[in-house]
Amino acid sequence: MTNIVQVRNLLKQYNPPSGVIAVKDISFDIRRGEVFSLLGPNGAGKTSTISMLSCLLAPSSGDAEVAGHSITTAAPLVKQAIGVVPQEIALYQTISAAENLIFWGRMYGLSGQRLQERVAATLAIAGLTDRAHDKVESFSGGMKRRLNIAVGLLHQPQILYLDEPTVGIDPQSRRRILDTIKTLNEQGMTVLYTTHYMEEAEELSDRIGIIDHGELIALGALAELTRLVGESDLIDLDVEYNGADQQALAAGLQAQPGVQRVVVEDGRLLLAVDQADTALADVVVAVARAGAHVRQLEIREPNLEALFLHLTGRALRD
């Protein structure tokens, strides 16, 4: 079997019948050995999806199979097959890293020699061997994140779920975590990764599902997805308005030939254009004619941000 996860028409409505529909009838597969990312802004439904696939949250309808077991009828078998790294630090702060790993290892059913080996191995993966006997509360945010991941690896799961594992940490720690995930994947681990950072999804993923308002709006490898945007480039304008009307300027730019879409983001204007070098001059002139001027400008190659913009009319940002 090449698919380790098969999601079929999964739907979650909180507090039915009137509550939020956080996940709207989504279907996708995850292949054995790949890194699959769910990319979407806050509130898109990433955590709700991962919680259902962890058997922590019952779906309102639909089902999924993980490692050949249904999440609705075979939860214990699913849980044995998966390693879950929650979005929040879920550790006992007043005991040491090693004591945490021993405890969580026992919860995964490990004991004796194998438990000792796995604790040592995951401490090494997290780079915490030297700090094994220090209390977790004395750790930096990055160290806690790494230990949080190590717990999910204890029982050598068939698939590792990571829910936004790099939120709120410094760049070095993030780098380290991304490298760890790549190494794990090279050693054969299948990974389900959620993030709202486009660069992370681009760097790590074999395939990416873009999720917004509970819907899977695009799915494929990075190259396939960027091809969806067509040949469009992205022009990111930082505009000094000098009293000019932002909406009117945006509408004016939208009317320019070669401009596919214009999105207003705070002070910035994001333009998806056929080709940046041909459109650029017209765009800058149009801005000047409206009485404003361009303070700064950036041209970006086709990427997931452009795709998200293309599909939703909104920017994918923090």
Partner 1 sequence: MKKPWFIALNDTLMRFRDRNGLLLMLAAPLVLAAITGAAFGGLTGSGSSASPITDIPVILVNADEGAFGQQVVDAFDAAELADLVEPVAMVDLDAARRQVEEGAARAVVYIPAGFSAAVADPANGAVLEVLTDPTSSFSPLIIRSIVEQIAAQFNTAISGGQIAADQALARQDVLGPALAQLPQAISAAVSAQPGGRRIELHSRSLAAEERGGDFNALAFFAPSMAILFLMFTIFEAARSLLDEEREWTLPRLLSTPTRFDQILAGKIGGVLITGVLQLSILILVSGLIFGVHWGSSWPGLALMVLSTVLAAASLGMFITAMARDAAQAGVIGSAVALIFAILGGNFITATAYPAWLQPLSKLTINRWALDGLTDLSLRQGGFGDVALEIGVLFGMAAIFFFIAVWRLPRRFAH
Ligand X SMILES: Nc1ncnc2c1ncn2[C@@H]1O[C@H](COP(=O)(O)OP(=O)(O)O)[C@@H](O)[C@H]1O
Binding site for ligand X (CB under 6 A): 14, 20, 22, 40, 42-48
Sequence-distant (6+) residues with CB within 8 A of 113 are none
Tokens of 89: 């630090």
In the complex with Mg ion, the residue whose CB is nearer, 42 or 93, is 42
d(CA 55, CA 11): 14
Task: Sketch the per residue contact string, 146 through 185, with partner 1: x for CB under 8 A, - otherwise.
Answer: -----x----------------------------------
Q: Which does 96 bind (CB under 5 to 8 A by kind): Mg ion, partner 1, ligand X, none?
A: none
Measured at the CA of 262, the angle between CA 240 and CA 313, to 5 degrees, comes to 125
Q: Which does 171 bind (CB under 5 to 8 A by kind): partner 1, Mg ion, ligand X, none?
A: none
Count CB atoms within 10 A of the CB of residue 120: 14
CB 215 within 8 Å of CB 200: no
- With contacts defined by CB under 8 A, name the span among 60-68, 89-97, 120-128, 220-228 that binds partner 1: 89-97
- 244 phi/psi in degrees, rounded to 5: -70, 150
State which of positions 17-76 bind Mg ion (CB under 5 A).
46-47
d(CA 165, CA 222): 21
Q: How far is the CB of 164 from ligand X (least distance, A)?
A: 7
Tell me how far apart the terminal alpha carbons of the chain are, to the nearest angstrom. Answer: 37
Q: Exactly one of 11, 90, 121, 286 binds partner 1 (CB under 8 A); which one? A: 90
- With contacts defined by CB under 5 A, name the span among 70-78, 79-87, 146-154, 245-253 that binds Mg ion: 79-87
- With contacts defined by CB under 5 A, name the span among 82-90, 234-242, 273-281, 289-297 that binds Mg ion: 82-90
Burial 155-184 (b: 16+ CB within 10 A, else e): bebbbbbbbbbbbebeeebbebbbebbeeb
Q: How far is the CB of 141 from ligand X (least distance, A)?
A: 19
CA-nearest of 164, 221, 218 to 196 is 164
Q: How far is the CB of 315 from partner 1 (least distance, A)?
A: 30
Q: How far is the CB of 22 from ligand X (least distance, A)?
A: 3
Rule CB under 8 A: which residues touch partner 1? Answer: 51, 54-58, 76, 79-80, 82, 84, 86, 88-95, 103-104, 106-109, 111, 151
Rule CB under 5 A: which residues touch Mg ion? Answer: 46-47, 87
